[in-house]
Amino acid sequence: MKYILVINCGSATLKFKVFEFLNLEEVLSGIVERVGLPGSFVELRIKNQELRKSVRARNHEDALKIVLLQIENCKLKIKNFSIVGHRVVHGGEEFTKTTLVTPRVLQKLKKYNKLAPLHNPANLMGISACQKLLPKIKNIAVFDTAFYLTLPDYAYTYALPYEFYSKHGIRRYGFHGISHHYVTLEAAKKLKRPLKNLNLITCHLGSGCSITAIKNGEAVDTSMGFTPLEGLVMSTRAGDVDPAIPLYLMRELRISPQEIDKILNNESGLLGISGFADMREVLVAAGYKVAEFEQKNKKTKKQKNRLALLALKIFIYRVQKYISAYAGILGGVDAVVFTGGIGERNPTVRGLVMKGLKLLGRPKVLAIPTNEELMIVREVKNFKS
């Protein structure tokens, strides 16, 4: 029996799933956590059983070795793997469809690392590890940005001198495309409607957050832009800010471009306002109950509570603004779809978002767990070089 391995690398994680080639049935999944950090561990899920154990994963190559060992321990032979599918966040306008990753392609992809610094380098490290450890197996990249090829030019073009786009490719690309694509298809199934007849607003709310407007089954606008920094308030990312603010900080406080980048990507968002990067901690500190979550510091200062509530309000308000804007653009919405760690698992946040929104036609509200790996394996199986 042949198998397909799907890998989804983060900066300190390596998620994986193994699928049977013929029916795409998932047979094994897991994650290596804290890659490159002390206290690395691997979690496995097979046949409704879960296993966790400590490992040593100094880098993504170590993490892949651990994954391959676990696959062998589960009686799956590596020689029966024909393809490895990879999530790659940014492919620019150069990589607009599922692509076989050769050494030349990998080198080209590196230029997009600066546009998605929290994601692309890790994605490419996973591919490099596979090319080294599994030299006879094809590596196929599936791009988050590819879902947004249907955006009209007036939606993806920034009001900057046009040569910045024509010569340097500065435009709205959009991200989380694999996730948005998957839940769009699932929503059509749940609604029992043809996708081409559906208008949807899909909300991927997790550590990173984005919203996409789907008109007649195709993406027509999205909140993330040239990089995954634009748009909604996120765990540590600022989202939309006045573009003059970084210039002001650089000039008045003599902050370097590198420091500005760190502030906007790693020190802002929920964390920057409240001190908490995890939405569950924000909710607890703001006075909400979160099922099956214990906060380490149960006693928080009054100031912390106030700032947590402020962070929550800002987060909710920004989501509401985008949903309202996209509802107007679409001229009617059949469903608002929530996914991602916050979107699909947190009814409190969904309720707060939808409360007070007045959308014509009373669209359905759906919470659909995303499955990026399943979307990737579908693309990989249908890939034709």
- Residue-wise pLDDT for 25-54, tens only, equals 999 999 998 888 889 999 999 877 888 989
144 among known catalytic residues: yes
From 62-76, 144-158, 163-177, 272-286, the region with the lowest mean pLDDT: 62-76
- Model confidence at 294, in pLDDT bands (50, 70, 90)? low
Report the 10 Å Cβ neighbour count for 288. Answer: 16
The mean of the pLDDT values for the chain is 92
Length of the chain: 385
How many Cα atoms occupy the beta-carbon half-sphere of 327 within 13 Å? 20
Report, as an integer, the average pLDDT of 74-95. Answer: 90
Residue 299, pLDDT > 60, answer no
Residue 302, pLDDT > 80, answer no
Question: Residues 2-33: pLDDT tens digits?
Answer: 999 999 988 788 899 999 999 999 999 999 98
- Model confidence at 74, in pLDDT bands (50, 70, 90)? confident
Q: Which of 62, 144, 221, 334 is catalytic?
A: 144
Give me 247's structure tokens: 């210039």
What is the rounded distance in angstroms from the CA atom of residue 282 to the CA atom of residue 295?
A: 10
What is the rounded distance in angstroms from the CA atom of residue 57 to the CA atom of residue 63?
A: 5
What is the rounded distance in angstroms from the CA atom of residue 139 to the CA atom of residue 4?
A: 10
CA distances from 143 to 66, 379, 384 (A): 25, 10, 16
Q: Indicate the helix (H) or strand (E) that contains 117.
A: none
pLDDT at 301: 60
Radius of gyration, alpha carbons of the chain: 21
pTM recorded for the entire structure = 0.91
Give me 316's structure tokens: 């909710």
What is the rounded distance in angstroms from the CA atom of residue 48 to the CA atom of residue 314?
A: 39
Q: What is the CATH number assigned to the segment(s) 193-367?
A: 3.30.420.40
What is the rounded distance in angstroms from the CA atom of residue 244 to the CA atom of residue 196?
A: 40
**Which architecture, in CATH terms, is 3-150?**
2-Layer Sandwich (3.30)
3-state DSSP call for residue 334? coil
CA distances from 15 to 67, 292, 311 (A): 9, 24, 30
Residue 252, pLDDT > 80, answer yes
Give me 292's structure tokens: 């099956």
Report the 10 Å Cβ neighbour count for 185. Answer: 14
Q: What percent of the chain has pLDDT over 90?
A: 75
Report the DSSP pairing between strands 209-215 and 218-222.
antiparallel
Q: 210 near 232, Cβ under 8 Å?
A: yes
Report, as an integer, the average pLDDT of 164-180. Answer: 95
pLDDT at 298: 56
Residue 297, pLDDT > 70, answer no
- Identify the DSSP state of 286: T
Domain limits, CATH 3.30.420.40, in the chain: 3-150, 193-367
Question: Residues 52-67: pLDDT tens digits?
Answer: 989 999 988 999 999 9
Q: Which residues contact 31 (CB under 8 A, 6 or more apart)?
A: 13, 14, 15, 16, 42, 43
